[in-house]
Amino acid sequence: MTTATTVKTEYEAIIGLETHCQLSTNTKIFSNSSTAFGAEPNTNIDPICMGLPGVLPVLNEKVLEYAVKAGLALNCQIAKYSKFDRKQYFYPDLPKNYQISQYDLPIAEHGWLEIELVDAEGNPIRKRIGITRLHMEEDAGKLVHAGSDRLSGSSYSLVDYNRAGIPLVEIVSEPDLRSGVEAAEYAEELRRIVRYLGVSDGNMEQGSLRCDVNISVRPVGREEFGTKVEIKNMNSFSAIQRAIDYEIERQIAAIEAGDRIIQETRLWQEGAQCTSSMRVKEGSSDYRYFPEPDLAPIEVSNAQLEQWRSELPELPAQKRHHYENELGLSPYDARVLTEDRSIAEYFETAIASGANPKAAANWITQDIAAHLNKQKLTISQIGLTPTNLADIITRIETGKISNAQAKQKLPDLLSGISPEKAFAGLELITDPSVLEPIIDEVIAANSKELEKYRNGNTNLKGFFVGQVLKKTDKRADPKLTNELVEKKLNA
Beta strands 85-88 and 264-269: pairing type?
unpaired
Question: Cβ atoms within 10 A of the Cβ of 370, count?
Answer: 11
pLDDT of residue 32: 96
Measured CA to CA in angstroms, residue 77 lies from 196, 298, 305 at distances of 20, 15, 11
Cβ partners under 8 Å of residue 472, min gap 6: 429, 435, 438
- Residue 132: the pLDDT is 98
- Total residues found in the chain within this entry: 491
pLDDT of residue 220: 92
Sequence-distant (6+) residues with CB within 8 A of 84 are 59, 100, 101, 102, 136, 291, 292, 295, 298
Q: What is the DSSP letter of 185?
A: H
The Cβ of residue 67 has, within 10 Å, a number of other Cβ atoms equal to 29
pLDDT at position 5: 55
CB-neighbour burial class of residue 55 (10 A; exposed 0-12, middle 13-18, buried 19+): middle
Long-range contacts of 284-293 (CB under 8 A, 24+ apart): 284/103, 287/87, 287/88, 287/89, 288/88, 289/85, 289/86, 289/87, 289/88, 289/103, 289/104, 290/85, 290/86, 291/83, 291/84, 291/85, 291/86, 292/83, 292/84, 292/85, 292/86, 292/100
- pLDDT for the residue 71: 98
pLDDT of residue 89: 83
Sign (positive/negative) of CA torsion 357, 359, 363, 365? Answer: positive
Q: Are 216 and 14 in contact (CB under 8 A)?
A: yes
- Can you give the residue ranges of every domain in the chain? 2-304, 314-422, 432-489
Pairing mode, if any, of strands 274-280 and 81-82? unpaired
DSSP 491: -
φ/ψ of residue 267, rounded to 5: -105, 140
Does domain 432-489 fall under CATH 1.10.10.10? My reply is no
Query: What pLDDT does residue 134 have?
Result: 98
The pLDDT, as a whole number, for residue 4 is 55
**pLDDT tens by residue, the chain, 491 residues:** 665 555 556 999 999 999 999 999 999 999 999 999 999 999 999 999 999 999 999 999 999 999 999 999 999 999 999 999 999 988 889 999 999 999 999 999 999 999 999 888 878 889 999 999 999 999 999 988 886 555 556 778 899 999 999 999 999 999 999 999 999 999 999 999 999 999 999 999 899 999 999 999 999 999 999 999 999 989 899 999 999 999 999 999 999 999 999 999 999 999 999 999 988 866 666 789 999 999 999 999 999 999 999 999 999 999 999 999 999 999 999 999 999 999 999 999 999 999 999 999 999 999 999 999 999 999 999 999 999 999 999 999 988 888 988 999 999 999 999 999 999 878 888 889 889 999 999 999 998 998 898 888 989 999 999 999 888 888 888 888 999 999 989 87
Q: Closest Cα partner for 296 from 57, 48, 104, 47?
A: 57
pLDDT at 107: 98
Contact 207/45 with Cβ under 8 angstroms? Answer: no
